[in-house]
Chains A and B, each alone.
Chain A
Amino acid sequence: MLCMSCALTAKSQLNKVEVKTNSLGNFELLRNGVPYYIKGAGAKDHFDLLVQSGANSIRVWSTNNKAFLDSAHQNGLTVTLGLYVRPERSGMDYNDEYAVKGQIEFLKNEVLKYKDHPALLVWGIGNEVDLRYSNFKVWETIEILAKFIKEVDPNHPTMTVIAGVDPAKAYYINKYCPSVDILGLNVYGSIENAGANLRKFNWDKPYIISEWGVNGPFEARTTSWKAKIEPPNGIKAEQRLRRYKELIEKDKERCLGSYCFLWGQKQESTATWHGMFLSNGNPTEAVDVMQFCWTGDWPQSRAPSIKDISLENISWRKDHILAPSSQATLKIDYQKYNNKKVIINYVLYPEAFSNKIGGDIQKSPEPLEFNIVSQSDNELTFVTPKEKGAYRIFAFVKNEKGQSSVANIPFLIQ
């Protein structure tokens, strides 16, 4: 009975979230009057491990699944809730009054539905509406929604999320969106100068790093046949750690926290680029890194870490062109950490070329069968496919708990 009453209280508890300036002149988020630094992830599942790793918040991109909010709340996580404002690149025409008004009314309705949810932390109005856009009228829609939120929900700040910052975007948001409290930045390679650039581009409000991680496929070097070159997990883990410690955590004046990308798995050029989990649900070493970032402690059981991978003794950074039906040797260099035993396996895929951008949905290819000639702790000799074309071979190393590290090399058969 007591538990039921607690649950009801929790459900009906309304949390007031505000952006304030503290005595040092730094911006901070206050939740029910208490400073709240966002240690977050773009996440839709694995909430238990997220909490265990020291996170306090998740970011979701739309209101199409209330279960995320409920589940986050049950796990003690807050939510930056996205209002999905259709980007121009999806066919939305911001000169079409009918489409614009319809979208606004729909999203106002969504605001009214969710504004009192106890997990709600910040409204994220639009995600990367600026990516390859040409009609700046979209900022009028963002402002109408932000202003509406101010009227009906004074308890939660408003944020709009952009794909990297530039002076034109900063100008338009400053001018057209006075009701936006926080700028959300999705920054991968461009995180290196994001804080400094915001100051140069006259953004004088706070910001949240709303997506960050390793350099994205769109920033990666490509092979001569246009396959993206993905660094091994070990290198990506080091990049994550440095970016959190040296860029995000250090900007005490303006940065209200961050959401790492992606606490889950998705196909974006490869199945392993941004995801911190594999498609089978196993966590990668990126999860360990985030625990260290959020808590200062590494987990007791750490994932192994692949530091290097090569094919035919040529580094992953280079092009690999092989003959059909020939033998080739893949080598990996990994660190076991405190694992007594690790399990290694290799999977071959056709290359998944895609022209999708901005996190738009991409389909994963199916694995291919291939013949293994020999396999040792760190070496695989295999027979290359007989069909000409672009392929990618993956190496997975995991410990007995399934904590994993992955690396891959694209290659061309010709």
Chain B
Amino acid sequence: MKLNTNIAFGILIICITSCGYMNKVSIYEPSTSISAFDKFPQKILFTSSDENGLWGIKNNNCKQVSFETKNSYIGRDHLHIKWDASQCNYIGIGLKWDNYKGKNLKPIIETAAIELRVRTDLGVLSNVPMFFILVDYGGKQCRANINFLELEDGKIDNNWRKIRIPLQSFNYQKRGVNMSNIKELRLEFQRSGDIHIDNIIIVSHEHNYTKTKDKFIKVFNSHPIQLGVGKEYWWGINTKYSSSIQFGNSFKNESVVINTDRTKDKPWDTFGFSPHQWMHVDISSIYRTSALKFKLKANELPKLQAILFAYTGNKRRLQKILDENHFIDNGSGIYEAYLPFKSLTGHDEFRWDDLKEIRFKIMDGTQFEIGDFQIIEFRGNPKKPTKWKRI
């Protein structure tokens, strides 16, 4: 027991004496690196008229600009603007922002925002038709507007409310603006309004939003392409109103049975489908070597008009009335049809990267089934589609 006590005492002495040799170390060392935001030197755009230059402040029929000293947020005065754009094409003012020195916003583009204070004299607004425009030294401009998410308490009233415009929200990429050499900030006003503005500064800001990718585009680069898979992508078939066109089942994929009543004034004689789920279908890389192929079950060939639609472009519609040259008789009333895309008049002007719909109008013929639509490879003579040996 005595031995144990001596050992413990010894350890204690060693510990106490050794403490004298320890250096003081704080738990959190201050970082020696300075953030890009801290380094950015031109954080003030406007705090008062005597310190920060503006242009476009001359009054006219459409705008009245004044610097008011009463009830400013910061500094000697603040900006008060009343505008009515009904008589003018453009209403704006510019902030010289460090006397037009080039500003490099690139390092802070993801971590900073323009912040300003805004108030009204009377009334409550939740939106102001006001836009923020960054102009580079090449004269290119990008813009952003006030987003409700960055409007303090979701309103502008007679208290100074904070608004932030994240630098990320400017469409600088789309407009090709050089964000490393920004000349000035412009404020553009539309419709009409009356607001007070003060303390326009650059602040540190986290912008946690991304841009998603287009999800409604389907690109096809190879053959064959099965078309119109899924009944929900078809139209013209509604048995509540007409039994003229109904889904069939004679073929491997979707088909419709036509039984047109031509005695009616406006017979249901048209149906269509999306090539792929009503997306923007892109077959631009293969359309020149492609043909529409489908099957037909009939006692007698009907007269059909095939129509292709694009979502965009000057020429949005291509059409062709099919004749016997488009069909191969496989016997037993089964036909195969081939429509090379290059045979369609105007195919060069058509947006093959934005194909929308394939539609058929039954011009003559009353009873048949049509289906199993595909885009197949076709390298034959477009004028003699069924003469190509490969089909």
Contact = CB atoms under 8 A, between A and B. Distances in A.
Contacts of B154: 105-106, 109
Interface stretch (B11-19, B90-98, B266-274): B266-274
B148 A98 contact: no
B216 A136 contact: yes
Interface in A130-152: 132, 134-137
Given A95-B213, A137-B215, A171-B278, A106 B148 contact: yes
Contact of B238 (A102, A137, A175, A202): A202
B278 A106 contact: no
Interface residues of B, number: 38
B19 to A, nearest CB: 55
Interface string B161-204: 00000101101000000000000000000000000000000000
Given A98-B169, A109-B148, A171 B233 contact: yes
Contacts of A64: 127
Interface in B220-256: 232-233, 235-236, 238, 240-241
A369 interface: no
A171 B274 contact: yes
Contact of B211 (A95, A105, A109, A199): A95
- Of the candidates B154, B212, B312, the one having the most CB atoms from chain A within 10 angstroms of its own CB is B212
A168 B211 contact: no
Contacts of B210: 97
A88 to B, nearest CB: 12
A97 B357 contact: no
Contacts of A137: 212, 215-216
B209 interface: yes
B355 to A, nearest CB: 11
Contacts of A202: 232, 235, 238
A178 interface: no
Interface in A84-111: 91, 93, 95-99, 101-103, 105-106, 109-110
B232 A199 contact: no
A97 B268 CA distance: 43
Interface string A9-24: 0000000000000000
Contact of B207 (A93, A98, A110, A172): A98
A40 to B, nearest CB: 25
B214 interface: yes
Interface residues of A, number: 31
B59 interface: no
B3 interface: no
B1 interface: no
Contact of B274 (A102, A109, A110, A168): A168
Nearest to A171: B278
Nearest to B191: A64
Interface in A231-255: none
Given A137-B215, A137-B216, A109 B235 contact: no
Contacts of B270: 200
Contact of A96 (B209, B272, B274): B209
A170 interface: yes
B325 interface: no
Q: At the interface, is chain B mostly helix, strand, loop or mixed?
A: loop
A6 interface: no
B211 A96 contact: yes
A167 interface: yes
B326 interface: no
Nearest to A196: B266
A225 interface: no
Given A95-B211, A97-B209, A105-B148, A199 B241 contact: yes
Interface string B113-141: 00000000000001100000000000000
A201 interface: yes
Contact of A167 (B169, B207, B272): B272
A82 B274 CA distance: 31
Contact of B235 (A93, A102, A200): A200
B121 to A, nearest CB: 19
A95 B214 contact: yes
A124 B342 CA distance: 44
B235 A98 contact: no
Contact of A135 (B148, B214, B238): B214
B356 interface: yes
B177 to A, nearest CB: 15
Nearest to A363: B89
Given A167-B272, A171-B274, A201-B235, A98 B166 contact: yes
Nearest to A169: B278
Given A110-B126, A136-B216, A200-B268, A102 B148 contact: yes
B8 interface: no
B148 A168 contact: no
B280 interface: yes
B236 to A, nearest CB: 5
A97 B210 CA distance: 6
B209 A168 contact: no
A168 B240 CA distance: 20
B311 interface: yes
B236 A200 contact: yes
B149 interface: yes
Q: Which 8 A-B pairs have the closest CB atoms?
A: A102-B147, A98-B209, A106-B148, A167-B235, A97-B209, A102-B149, A168-B278, A136-B216
Given A109-B126, A109-B154, 7 more contacts: A64-B127, A102-B147, A110-B126, A167-B278, A168-B278, A199-B240, A200-B268
Interface of B: 126-127, 147-150, 154, 166, 168-169, 171, 207, 209-216, 232-233, 235-236, 238, 240-241, 266, 268, 270, 272, 274, 278, 280, 311-312, 356-357
29 contacts: A95-B211, A95-B213, A96-B209, A96-B211, A97-B209, A97-B211, A97-B212, A98-B147, A98-B207, A99-B169, A102-B148, A102-B150, A103-B148, A106-B148, A106-B154, A109-B126, A135-B214, A167-B235, A167-B357, A168-B274, A168-B311, A168-B356, A168-B357, A171-B232, A171-B274, A172-B278, A200-B236, A200-B268, A202-B232
